[in-house]
Structure 1
Amino acid sequence: MSSLTYIDQESESYKLAKFMERIEAGEKIEADDWMPEEYRIALIKLISMHGISEIMGALPEKEWVPKAPTLRRKLGIMAKVQDEMGHGQLLLRVAEDLLKPYGKNRDDLMKDLFSGKLKFHNVFHMKTYTWADAGLIAWLVDGAAIITQTNMLNASYGPYARALQRICAEEVFHAQHGEAIILALAEGTDEQREMIQDALNRWWDALLMFFGPASKETTGSSKQDVTIQYKIRTKTNEQLRQDFLSKYIPRILSLGLTIPDPNLHYDEQNEKWNYTQPDWNEFKKIIKNEGPRSKARLNLRKISYENNAWVREALSNA
């Protein structure tokens, strides 16, 4: 082998070409494998946001553990909160492996959360008012999460794909837990049915926002293009939102509920749902920690993290 050939094979362009060949062939990339910087950064952003969202997402439902209407419901929502926290810890461990080349770890991710650098899903900044909110989160928010996460079950990054296998299986139970709450309320009194409708009215825009804006033209970002390019996921934000609408609109309507969008209808010619766009400026405010419950939930998370510092120190010295 000539020295020129050797140099070529060590070049970034050669490594990238071989990396893309592996991805195209369906191979899984592992934590210790060479990967382009763009791929690593995209994974860190996606997985750390996902992990933190699982942890922060447990907080709105945690508020309803002492207020659940029956012991059975209390045990169900407690188990769900526990699962969500476990998902978050699992995902942060996956993200931590990707951070090693930068000399960073999980503590740095938590600092990024508290400083506002690391974002979490818009829905978990929202306020919950009634037991119907707790049911709606588990049914529709977790339903939206399942649609997003199953789209990445075959992600090119092996550790993330394997973590998602477990997470998605448990999320299905969470969605069933939420559906059971909503069905019980729907079969109850007029006041209980009104409670569901009120919750749906308040959460609808947040549910549409869950998948993010449709294109980089809206956000000035090409993050979704990068994740598709590297086969971390296969569908765009809008395709995922359309999947959500197709799955859940019939189910919502079957309960006699009204979706709070007079423009919502299915366009047979273009085979897609037309809907009123949510306020994307409001979305940007929310994910900058200017949502209704952003400050309170971040403060609760920070206090918990600081109060349990001794546990982390004990484990690191064990």
Structure 2
Amino acid sequence: MNALLNDMAEQERLNHFIARIEAGEKIEADDWMPEDYRGTLIKLISMHGISEIMGALPEKEWVPKAPTLNRKLGIMAKVQDEMGHGQLLLRVVEDLLKPSGKKRDDLMQDLFNGDLKFHNVFHMEAKTWGDAGLIGWLVDGAAIISQTNMLGASYGPYSRALHRICAEEVFHAQHGEAIIMALAEGTKEQRKLVQDSINYWWESLLLFFGPPSKKEVGSSKQDVTIRYRIRTSTNEELRQAFFSKYVKRILSLGYTVPDETLQFDEKSKNWTYQQPDWSKLKVLARNEGPRSQDRLSLRRISYENNKWVREALAPEVI
């Protein structure tokens, strides 16, 4: 009998929770929330936060190699911003972790152990200055499309953090676009840098949004992030938005997209395209990408070398 009453009370709580988010209310860290909502937020925001930090590393490699002082200052500022975004998001996760007793250090150990993933694009190499520009232009552009989709997220702390992050990401994308435009207006060799970068990064950009949803026949089950109003669009809808925003821009600069099948279908109002090799996501999830281990090693060394700072700032236990 007690178990039945507990189930009824839990269902009533869940119904009230759903009613709140459907009414547009924001859920705060101390509010009751279902465990699948909490777990989804922890997984999503942890990956986002770690990806901001790991995503700064490919461009960090270009700080000493940037072609001019102004470019050096610009990319240094961008790296600092990305690190700040990561710290802000991990702080949001810390509040969600409190009931479990886990802390930020546990998240970092999860990263080093391979349990916490980071975005596929940041496992790749940034071999040329063209790659550095394209990361800002198209990779950050893809991130903006994904993140602005969650500006109205039902979880208040994440929504508020995203408003700050997205405002800065717009500058990052403009910074990358400025690099690409300078190369596009340059020598034949400089123009080739951009085309080579587009060819190299294109598949990674498609993988960035994740695979299309596999809806079971006769099932109306929705993705939990959409059901709980953490985001509003599916992976495929976000990818279509990316095509609509950037394909014409790429072509207008005289470059090509490495997909002869890519075209806009007037009937469906969608882009048709060659599917990427989705199995690569599993390879990258195992940290077996071109620069996965190098980036993890750099992050691990930095974390250990700065352990004394964390200990000095930790509250004294009396």
TM-score by length of 1: 0.95
2:117 is matched with 119
Q: Is 2:204 aligned against 1:206? A: yes
Q: Is 2:300 aligned against 1:305? A: no
Q: Is 2:155 aligned against 1:157? A: yes
Q: Distance in 2 between matches of 1:185 and 1:129?
A: 15
- Cα distance, 1:46 vs. partner? 0.2
Instruction: Give the match's secondary structure for 1:266.
Output: strand
Q: Distance in 2 between matches of 1:41 and 1:214?
A: 22
Q: Distance in 1 between matches of 2:77 and 2:166?
A: 16
Pairing 1:3-152 to 2, within 5 Å after superposition: 11-152=9-150
Alpha carbons of 1:223 and 1:290: their partners in 2 closer, same or farther (altered >3 Å)? farther
Q: Distance in 2 between matches of 1:265 and 1:175?
A: 24
2:280 is matched with 282
Q: Distance in 2 between matches of 1:10 and 1:38?
A: 18
Q: Distance in 1 between matches of 2:226 and 2:192?
A: 41
Instruction: Give the match's secondary structure for 1:155.
Output: coil
Q: Is the 8 A contact 1:60 1:124 kept in 2?
A: yes
- Cα distance, 1:143 vs. partner? 0.2
Q: Distance in 2 between matches of 1:95 and 1:29?
A: 14
Instruction: Give the match's secondary structure for 1:120.
Output: coil
Q: Is the 8 A contact 1:42 1:223 kept in 2?
A: no
Q: Is the 8 A contact 1:224 1:237 kept in 2?
A: no
Q: Percent identity?
A: 74
- Cα distance, 1:199 vs. partner? 0.6
1:228 is matched with 226
Q: Is the 8 A contact 1:54 1:85 kept in 2?
A: yes
- Cα distance, 1:27 vs. partner? 0.2
CA RMSD after TM alignment: 1.8
Q: Distance in 2 between matches of 1:145 and 1:194?
A: 25
- Cα distance, 1:11 vs. partner? 1.3
Q: Is 2:180 aligned against 1:182? A: yes
- Cα distance, 1:282 vs. partner? 1.3
1:191 is matched with 189
Write the deviation string for residues 152-185 of structure 1: whole angstroms up to 9, x where unpaired. 0000000000000000000000000000000000
Alpha carbons of 1:50 and 1:239: their partners in 2 closer, same or farther (altered >3 Å)? same
1:248 is matched with 246
Q: Distance in 2 between matches of 1:285 and 1:126?
A: 12
Q: Which runs of 4+ in 1 moved over 6 A?
A: none
Write the deviation string for residues 123-153 of structure 1: whole angstroms up to 9, x where unpaired. 0000111000000000000000000000000
Instruction: Give the match's secondary structure for 1:176.
Output: helix
Write the deviation string for residues 280-313 of structure 1: whole angstroms up to 9, x where unpaired. 1112101220100000000000000000000000
TM-score by length of 2: 0.95
Write the deviation string for residues 54-91 of structure 1: whole angstroms up to 9, x where unpaired. 00000000000000000000000000000000000000
Alpha carbons of 1:32 and 1:223: their partners in 2 closer, same or farther (altered >3 Å)? farther
Instruction: Give the match's secondary structure for 2:161.
Output: helix
Instruction: Give the match's secondary structure for 2:229.
Output: coil
